[in-house]
Structure 1
Amino acid sequence: MKENQKRRIRYQVACSLDGYIAGPNGEVNWIPDDPGIDFSVLFAQFDTLLMGRRTYEALPLDDPTYGHLYADKELIVFSRTLRPETHPRATIVAELTPTYLEQLRLQPGKDIWLFGGGELFRSLLELGFVDTVELAVAPILLGGGHSFFALPRAPAAPEIARPATVCTVGHRALKLCCDARRRVTTFLHMIFYA
């Protein structure tokens, strides 16, 4: 990392065509198992995963297929209920303040993956601590569940400072990326309300 360069906080998540990141009971089995996606390459972009309690509790840390992906990552969990002494594998943080998030960005290392839930994403976005939004859109309509973003009313005059990029991910998903500091709500309105 160059001097004075901050690590980016990147929200990378799979969502359905209708904007859900999980089903009504938190299920994610609708996400296509795509052999074209190399999860080791994806995880190698990050050395820190920032998540909420529910995402942390669902992590397959001991899974023989996916557990190795988390082995060398710093896991930072925002939770007011988990006790640090009972979760030695993670750093439990009761409050994600702007000061804490800024210090995290200034630490040397790779980018930070805002991993999982929409509530934490919305909180960090409101604080101005989400640098990019990267959606892998699966070709399925869930019709309900956990939305990745509770959209505010559409602005009167949509404006995008930089265009979003679109690329394929593997064979069964589309990835949409935008700079979250540049009018992300306008971009999201264009996706879900156009």
Structure 2
Amino acid sequence: MAKLLYAFSCSIDGFIAGPGGDMSWLTPFAGPPPVDLTARIGALLVGRRTYDGDDPHRDGPGEGKAFGGGWEGPQFVLTHRNAQPAPGVTFLGDLPSAVSAAKAAAGEKYVNVLGADVARQCLEAGVLDEVLALPVPVLLGDGVRVFSRVGPPVRLSSVGPCWYRVDS
């Protein structure tokens, strides 16, 4: 069965995006997608702000595509707003339906969670299985935090370099 993975790049001080969701900070560090990861992804679970957001591959051949064009497959966007239909994208209004649909589509592969708020919701709902943190050598100082949540610490167990399992 599919597992939910929150894989993200972040600044050393813990931001995945700059103020207002700005992703341009990542452009100088964007290279080829990690093929070993993208081959293991069967579906994406994406937050609406991330889906509508800034693209670090702007003005390049991979603009508007997952992982800069390094991955293709079904995307499930969690949203409460109306959305324009897009090929390969399903818009869903609640987390349980979005998780269920993404897991079914992913089969035995990962559902990659994109977006800090959706990742937080998955963590709080107890459905996030693993975290892959890819730190980038920059200090942003402000922006969208990797996780913004109130509550007790969440224990993680290392399963590899920068890769962690969420302990239940």
TM class by shorter chain equals 0.7 to 0.9
The CA deviation string for residues 61-108 of structure 1, in whole angstroms up to 9 with x for no partner, is: 9952353334x310100011133x6334310001112x6534643552
Q: How far, CA to CA, are the matches of 1:177 and 1:131 in structure 2?
A: 11
Deviation per residue, 1:21-71 (Å, 9 max, x gap):
100021222235255x5444432111201101121123569952353334x
**Does residue 1:164 correspond to 2:163, yes or no?**
no
Amino acid of the structure 2 residue aligned with 1:112: V
Query: For structure 1, which runs of at least 5 residues remain unmatched after alignment?
Result: 1-5, 168-175, 184-194
TM-score by length of 1: 0.69
- In structure 2, give the amino acid aligned to 1:76: F
Give the aligned partner of residue 73 of structure 2: 73
User: How far did 1:138 drift?
Assistant: 1.1
How far apart, in 1, do the equivalents of 2:59 and 2:73 lie?
Answer: 14
How many matched pairs? 160
Using the TM superposition, give the Cα deviation of residue 132 of structure 1 relative to its aligned residue in structure 2, in angstroms. 0.4
CA contact (8 A) 2:45 2:98 kept: no
User: Does the CA contact (< 8 Å) of 2:44 and 2:74 recur in 1?
Assistant: yes
SS of residue paired to 1:123: helix
Counterpart CA distance in 2 for 1:100 and 1:49 is 10
Structure 1 residues 16 and 7, CA, compared in 2 at 3 Å: closer, same or farther?
same
Distance 1:153 1:56, change over 3 A: closer
Counterpart in the other structure of 2:29: 33
Q: Does 1:18 align with 2:13?
A: yes
Q: In the alignment, which residue of structure 2 is the partner of 1:64?
A: 61
Q: Which residue number corresponds to residue 178 of structure 1?
A: 164
Q: Percent identity?
A: 26
User: How far apart are the structure 2 equivalents of 1:40 and 1:124?
Assistant: 25
Matched position secondary structure for 1:77? strand
The amino acid of 1:79's aligned partner reads: T
1:100-179 equivalent positions in 2, closer than 5 A: 101-102=99-100, 104-105=102-103, 108-115=107-114, 117-152=115-150, 163-165=157-159, 167=161, 176-179=162-165
After superposition, the Cα gap between the structure-2 partners of 1:64 and 1:46, relative to the gap in structure 1 and judged at 3 Å, is same
- Per the normalisation by structure 2, the TM-score is 0.78
Amino acid aligned to 1:48: A
1:136-188 Cα deviation digits (max 9, x unpaired):
01122111100111253665xxx95x742563xxxxxxxx22111x16xxxxx
Aligned counterparts of 1:82 and 1:63: Cα–Cα separation in 2: 28
The CA distance in 2 between the partners of 1:17 and 1:122, in whole Å, is 19
